[in-house]
Amino acid sequence: MEFIITESAEEQLKKLNIAPLCLRIDIQPVGTCSAVVDIDLTLDERQHDDVIFEKNGLTILANSFARDYLGSKVKLDHVAAFRLTTPNETLAYGLSVKRK
């Protein structure tokens, strides 16, 4: 999986001063159907089954469900708010970073 963090997203994350916590792309199925999901950006600690992406001191986490849902290439960008995209679609926009 290729994970891209744009300069604007990286800049916004560094302003949040999140260390030592990591940013988790938290994707959970809604109800009994996995076709509808809830996507959040949350501050969290590493878990044993996480996929980990690191860039310039930032650590991004995703669990196996999120990894499978996101596909082979995903980008985190920031324009007024965070957005998560793939080459084919926008998965979520208007995201903010939440604390668990």
pLDDT of residue 33: 65
For the cut 90, the answer to whether the pLDDT of residue 75 exceeds it is: yes
pLDDT of residue 65: 87
Give me 98's structure tokens: 């939440």
Tens of pLDDT, residue by residue over 34-69, are 678 999 999 999 999 899 999 888 999 998 889 888
Residue bearing the bigger pLDDT, 55 or 94: 94
pLDDT of residue 28: 87
Going across the sheet that includes 73-79, the strands are 2-5, 73-79, 81-85, 90-95
Q: Domains in the chain, please, with CATH?
A: 2-99 (2.60.300.12)
- What's the pTM value of the predicted model, to 2 decimals? 0.88
pLDDT of residue 40: 95
Tens of pLDDT, residue by residue over 17-32, are 887 889 999 998 887 7
Pairing status of strand 22-30 against strand 2-5: unpaired
For residue 9, give Cα distances in angstroms to 19, 36, 87. Answer: 16, 25, 17
For residue 27, give Cα distances in angstroms to 2, 21, 36, 77. Answer: 17, 18, 10, 17
Q: Quick one: average pLDDT of 61-82? A: 92
